[in-house]
Chains A and B, each alone.
Chain A
Amino acid sequence: MSAHKTALLSALTTALLASASLQAAEPLKAVGAGEGQLDIVAWPGYIERGESDKAYDWVTGFEKETGCKVNVKTAATSDEMVSLMAKGGYDLVTASGDASLRLIVGKRVQPINTALIPNWKTIDPRLKDAPWYVVGQQTYGTPYQWGPNVLMYNTNVFKTAPTSWNVLFEAQNLPDGKPNKGRVQAYDGPIYIADAALYLKSTKPELGIQSPYELTETQYKAVLDLLRAQQPLIHRYWHDTTVQMSDFKNEGVVASSAWPYQVNGLINEKQPIASTIPKEGATGWADTTMLHSEAKHPNCAYKWMDWSLQPKVQGDVAAWFGSLPAVPAACTGSELLGAEGCKTNGFDQFDKIAFWKTPQAEGGKFVPYSRWTQDYIAIMGGR
């Protein structure tokens, strides 16, 4: 008798467990009590608990309110984020557009139920249904922050802001009468090919480039030719913000693509630096808080996604990181960001930005990201 009971019980448990794991594959139906813990993969400076500067703390309040203890694992590159998520053991990731599609296609993240996130309706309408996190009408996460890749320049050399990216792409004399050779920088990542494509999109309309992330073979070849011609002009291909800032201070570099982070940093150091978005527009990044497909703490994760969309949190992150909030109300909702913060960081430039996304072949129509990587390596090496 007791043996039968045990068998029955174990069968029931198995069935329950199985149905539970089946449910986990579907978006959550309701947010329950927190699991007491939350593990997030994030860019450095994205999740602050006041340890660097007491004023910048948007974690302690969350922990007090929900009882979810937040653990942050910082990652320095999109690739590191993808590989950490592949390894597993995390609930959320703040993925940029060049990582998000890889995570979705690789089934590392799961769609979310936006009805469970009360603050969802406050999101900037410009970010809703963006292609880097909404795939097949399913929403993979909540927008977190965005920003442009600006043209940073030295105001002693450029008395007026340069109006075109051609100061980086074409050999020429800069306003101070000296050539730009050896005084400009480009980004050390294959995604920079999109910057060159964006430039050609307006300077060579006959190529018919629609999106800088969807290039046909002929368009791609023209873009590579431009980058090959650019290589001799380049002082250094940058990827380290500290090194780039020091190059502008000590190495005589006067113009480069850069993030608002470096611009703000150098201006704070009273350097003669400013930034602009030239007439061709700019590439940019938009980050999304995404939920791991096997998240162990989904309730806490939903609570965080909602929390992260509060105007004050959004504004504080933007002030700390030099980025822009995904919630317009944040522009007036944070003392740290200030009244002008959104404008300074480029809130009105949204339409000029072609946001990063991973180039995909889409059945052989376009040149895929793996080719971008190989060819950009060859170009940096002078081929």
Chain B
Amino acid sequence: MSLTQAPMRRFSNLLYRRPNLYLAMLLIPPLIWFGAIYLGSLLTLLWQGFYTFDDFTMAVTPDLTLANFAALFQPSNFDIILRTLSMAIVVSLASAIVAFPIAYYMARYTTGKTKAFFYIAVMMPMWASYIVKAYAWTLLLAKGGVAQWFVQHLGLEPLLQFVLGIPGVGGSTLSTSHLGRFMVFVYIWLPFMILPIQASLERLPPSLLQASADLGAKPRQTFMQVILPLSVPGIAAGSIFTFSLTLGDFIVPQLVGPPGYFVGGMVYAQQGAIGNMPMAAAFTLVPIVLIAVYLSIVKRLGAFDAL
């Protein structure tokens, strides 16, 4: 008995006398996981961006160069970055506009069962596989599909043709246009915008609205000067999701929309098709930088208080 207990007792005494050791033992395993496996692999990946890719032998050599990062600014590569970034911004704006009324209604006018219904209705699309939804949209937007049927029966075909003719918005048909891709993105990421806005609106004390009304503010003034500013953190939090998810997506751009890669598709093509790991690694840096910039902007808007 005493033989087996003695080392244990000494060990516990040691831990008691040195609380820092105790803490270190608790924290080191997760820190190794995060530091070595997560950050380590990420840094290794980025480090490969400095390697040289030889066009003739199609082999990667560890000679350091900045050529890959410089190549990001070649017109065709820079196109890809601009294409992805502008889509991410537009999708975030549109999601916020669509999500706000829904979130507002959920937060202010529903209770109990109705509220549960709305929660489920918002979450339900997330139960279905993302790929199934994207494929379904290719059929919805097709020339013989539901969307066009409505357009035809409402007599809006000339309008659609006009919209499809606008450069930067249109394309040869709805499912191969920028507009179509934009609609699919907004649909797929909408729940990620609704929930944070709803959370921030729910936290808004009703007394503030009453005070605003008592002081003679019209509903529009209350909305513009009380509700909207206080819900900005929620909108910003939601836009983190919509922005970064659009930035990293490579399946929707493949299935819907005009030709031309997004950053994700480009990384996949460089790494998968030609084994040009250095160029793929250089492209990986793009979303990291963009999201870092974006996060620093929304942090000022207080997004992290609403998560």
Contacts and interface: CB of A to CB of B under 8 A. Distances in A.
Interface in A224-261: 231, 234-237, 239-240, 242-243, 246-247, 249-252
Contacts of B258: 236
A373 B269 contact: yes
B87 to A, nearest CB: 13
Given A250-B145, A361-B55, A369 B173 contact: no
B260 A381 contact: yes
A235 B173 CA distance: 8
A250 B142 contact: yes
A381 B259 contact: yes
26 contacts: A79-B272, A80-B272, A182-B172, A182-B173, A188-B259, A189-B273, A235-B173, A240-B254, A247-B142, A252-B143, A252-B144, A368-B55, A369-B274, A370-B274, A373-B270, A377-B80, A377-B269, A378-B76, A378-B79, A380-B260, A380-B261, A381-B76, A381-B260, A382-B260, A383-B75, A383-B76
A319 B143 CA distance: 32
A77 interface: yes
A371 interface: yes
Counting chain A CB atoms within 10 Å of each CB, which of B75, B138, B255 scores highest? B138
Interface in B34-67: 53, 55-56, 58
B175 interface: yes
Nearest to A252: B143
B240 interface: no
Interface of A: 77, 79-80, 82-83, 102, 181-183, 188-190, 231, 234-237, 239-240, 242-243, 246-247, 249-252, 361, 363-364, 368-371, 373-374, 377-378, 380-383
Nearest to B172: A182
Given A246-B138, A377-B266, A383-B79, A83 B272 contact: yes
A381 B176 contact: no
Contacts of B224: none
A181 B142 CA distance: 17
B259 A234 contact: yes
B239 interface: no
A123 B75 CA distance: 49
Contact of B142 (A251, A369, A378): A251
Given A240-B254, A368-B56, A370-B58, 4 more contacts: A183-B172, A236-B259, A252-B173, A380-B260
A181 B173 CA distance: 11
Contacts of A370: 53, 55, 58, 274, 276
Contacts of B274: 369-370, 373
Given A251-B143, A368-B55, A381 B80 contact: yes
A250 B55 contact: no
Counting chain A CB atoms within 10 Å of each CB, which of B135, B176, B276 scores highest? B176
A369 B272 CA distance: 13
Nearest to A380: B259
Given A250-B144, A250-B145, A236 B176 contact: yes
Nearest to B164: A182
A371 B55 contact: yes
Contacts, number: 92
B255 A243 contact: yes
Interface of B: 53, 55-56, 58, 75-76, 79-80, 83, 135, 138-139, 142-145, 172-173, 175-176, 254-255, 258-261, 266, 269-270, 272-276
Given A377-B76, A377-B261, A381-B261, A235 B58 contact: no
A307 B254 CA distance: 39
B266 to A, nearest CB: 7
Contacts of B273: 79, 189-190, 373
B79 A381 contact: yes
Nearest to A82: B275
Given A236-B259, A377-B76, A250 B143 contact: yes
Contacts of B144: 249-252
Counting chain A CB atoms within 10 Å of each CB, which of B76, B145, B254, B270 scores highest? B76
Given A377-B269, A381-B80, A246 B173 contact: no
Counting chain A CB atoms within 10 Å of each CB, which of B143, B172, B261, B270 scores highest? B172
Nearest to A369: B274
Task: Give the top 6 A-B pairs by smallest Cβ distance, nearest first.
Answer: A182-B172, A378-B76, A250-B142, A381-B260, A250-B144, A380-B259
A189 B272 CA distance: 12
B83 A381 contact: yes
Nearest to A364: B56
Contact of A368 (B58, B80, B173, B270): B58
Contacts of B83: 381
Contacts of A369: 58, 274
Nearest to A367: B55
A242 B258 CA distance: 18
A371 B54 CA distance: 11
Counting chain B CB atoms within 10 Å of each CB, which of A79, A236, A252, A369 scores highest? A236
A62 to B, nearest CB: 32
A250 B172 CA distance: 14
Counting chain B CB atoms within 10 Å of each CB, which of A183, A247, A251, A363 scores highest? A251
A191 to B, nearest CB: 10
Contacts of B139: 246, 250
Nearest to A98: B273
A371 B71 CA distance: 13
A183 B173 CA distance: 10
Nearest to B55: A370
Contacts of B80: 377, 381
Nearest to B260: A381
A242 B138 CA distance: 11
A188 B258 CA distance: 12
A79 B269 CA distance: 9
Counting chain B CB atoms within 10 Å of each CB, which of A82, A240, A378 scores highest? A378
Nearest to B276: A370
